[in-house]
């Protein structure tokens, strides 16, 4: 059965796939997604949803939301992107990835329908993400979930998930990303993300750059959507390692946490999720929200995979995201700190290098997986220009060996720059780390 599911995902991947840069992009719209859903009796209408968009922190915020709702005793479906190692990670049923026995029959139904549709009309070809999103909605209906937490894929306005009328919409921090699709300014990207705002549906917004905040609030006002803003709704935020605390206003509800997702940025994501659930379920016990926040976890978010050296994986791939990761990484680790870096094609590597250069004694540059590997040689040039010792090792397994050897048993390694890099390194046998510490 696992081989059958992998074949199914490979068939999904044979269609237009923006995440991996496959095929020439065409016009993206929601009518194709709505037609797919209608053919299966609109499964997206069967559960209450929370819809999360943003440039960074949306996956973690979704994980916090799903974990709180799970702790409250609900059956919750979570839809995440991108994955780190396997597409299975995208489909979470309280609290584990969906089983192959649940996915396979639905994948076969989807494939049969698409083949019939394309035989009638070749222009009906869906995208990979549309097929994955359909699979998620079908899975959640079959599993009779109470709540669905949806993370957008790319953007918001034309994202395949933007077919729901949710109980709440959530927008996490916005920055420059996917500029070839979403726009070349923060304001333009904010306009695309704001496309998830629905008339009258409450909106929860994290701290934003002014140009993003103005666009979001303007759209919320136009649609008469009540707005909760983290910059006014969260106070007294304190973080030390994995310990965190914050107060939700206006009722001054204080949370003291031991998070599995460390860092100030994750504490802010946790506060955002807590505010959403407190609004949706006002009678929920404080202890249940606390328990849910403490239990939340996602792979590839400062995920520790070894102790000697301390090796952490994080899929951050923008300058702002990397700044937050470095701030969280340093208090957890000791010198020498070694960076294992691989960026996908189309990323602003010089900007990323400027954020990282001062923290690490040596950088090992590798290929960001096999799908969008970028230009490792250009990354070496970017770090070398900043005066950082840099080593090029294209193969991720060999790069991990080199980084661990440089860190030794007392140092630390951060693997970052892309979820593709994290996925490639995460797949390496852990004995590689032990052998070279």
Indicate which CATH number applies to the domain containing 203.
3.40.1190.10
Q: Are residues 313 and 396 in the same domain?
A: yes
pLDDT of residue 95: 78
* One domain, residues 8 and 79: yes
Q: Are residues 73 and 218 in the same domain?
A: yes
Residue at token pair 């860190």:
407
The residue assigned the tokens 């328990």 is 291
Domain containing 99 equals: 2-295
Task: Say what the pLDDT of residue 122 is.
Answer: 83
Q: Are residues 290 and 381 in the same domain?
A: no
Q: What is the model's pLDDT at position 177?
A: 81
Residues 372, 343 share a domain: yes
| Domain match, 227 and 132 both | yes
| Residue 359 pLDDT | 96
Q: Please list the ranges in the chain whose pLDDT falls under 50.
A: 22-26, 436-437
Which of 295, 311, 343 terminates a domain? The answer is 295
Same domain as 358, residue 281: no
- Same domain assignment for residues 413 and 355: yes
Strand runs (DSSP E) across 190-327, as ranges? 203-205, 227-229, 234-240, 243-248, 253-258, 303-307, 310-313
pLDDT at res. 25? 47
Q: What is the pLDDT of residue 24?
A: 45
CA distance 100 to 80: 17
pLDDT at res. 30: 93
Q: What's the pLDDT at 176?
A: 84
Q: Over 19-48, what HEC string results? A: HHCECCCCCCCCHHHHHHHHHCCCHHHCCE
Q: What pLDDT, on the 0 to 100 scale, is given for residue 367?
A: 93
**CATH number of 421's domain:** 3.90.190.20
Structural domains in the chain (count): 2
Structure confidence at residue 437 (pLDDT): 46
**Sheet containing 243-248, strands listed edge to edge, beginning at the edge strand earlier in sequence:** 234-240, 243-248, 253-258
Q: What's the pLDDT at 184? A: 87
Domain's final residue, options 295, 312, 330: 295
316/276 same-domain check? no
- Look at residues 381, 374, 268 and name the one whose alpha carbon lies nearest to residue 321: 268
pLDDT of amino acid 28: 63
Q: Is there a single domain that holds both residue 323 and residue 279?
A: no
Which of 295, 320, 352 is the C-terminal boundary of a domain? 295
């Amino acid at each position: 059965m696992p081989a059958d599911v992998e074949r199914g995902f490979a068939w999904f991947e044979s269609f237009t796939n923006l995440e991996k840069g496959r095929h020439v992009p065409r016009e993206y719209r929601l009518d194709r997604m709505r037609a797919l859903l209608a053919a299966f009796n609109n499964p997206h209408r069967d559960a209450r949803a929370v819809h999360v968009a943003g440039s960074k922190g949306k996956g973690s915020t979704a994980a916090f939301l799903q974990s709180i709702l799970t702790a409250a005793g609900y059956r919750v479906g979570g839809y995440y992107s991108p994955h780190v190692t396997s597409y299975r990670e995208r489909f979470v049923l309280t609290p584990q990835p969906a089983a192959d026995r649940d996915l396979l029959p639905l994948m076969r139904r989807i494939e049969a329908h698409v083949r019939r549709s394309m035989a009638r009309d070749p222009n009906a070809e869906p995208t990979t993400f549309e097929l994955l999103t359909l699979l998620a909605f079908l899975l959640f209906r079959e599993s009779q979930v109470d709540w669905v937490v949806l993370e957008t894929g790319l953007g918001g306005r034309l994202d395949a998930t933007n077919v729901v009328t949710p109980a709440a919409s959530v927008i996490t921090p916005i920055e420059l990303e996917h500029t070839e699709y979403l726009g070349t300014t923060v304001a333009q990207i904010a306009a695309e993300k704001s496309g998830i705002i629905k008339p009258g549906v409450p909106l929860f917004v994290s701290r934003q750059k002014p140009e993003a905040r103005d666009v979001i609030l303007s759209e919320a006002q136009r649609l008469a959507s009540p707005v909760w803003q983290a910059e006014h709704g969260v106070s007294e935020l304190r973080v030390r390692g994995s310990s965190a605390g914050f107060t939700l206003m206006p009722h001054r509800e204080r949370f003291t946490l031991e998070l599995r997702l460390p860092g100030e940025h994750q504490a802010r994501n946790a506060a955002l999720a807590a505010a959403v659930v407190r609004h949706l379920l006002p009678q929920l016990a404080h202890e249940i929200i606390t328990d849910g926040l403490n239990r939340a976890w996602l792979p590839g978010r400062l995920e520790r995979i070894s102790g000697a050296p301390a090796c952490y994986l994080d899929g951050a791939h923008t300058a702002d995201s990397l700044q937050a990761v470095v701030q969280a990484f340093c208090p957890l680790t000791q010198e020498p700190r070694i960076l294992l870096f691989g960026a996908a094609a189309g990323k602003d590597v010089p900007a990323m290098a400027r954020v990282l250069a001062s923290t690490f004694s040596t950088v090992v540059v590798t290929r960001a997986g096999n799908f969008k590997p970028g230009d490792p040689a250009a990354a070496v040039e970017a770090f070398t220009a900043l005066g950082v010792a840099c080593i090029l090792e294209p193969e991720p397994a060999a790069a991990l060996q080199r980084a661990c050897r440089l860190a030794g048993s007392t140092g630390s390694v951060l693997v970052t720059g892309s979820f593709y890099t994290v996925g490639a390194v995460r797949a390496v046998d852990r004995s590689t780390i032990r052998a070279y510490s």
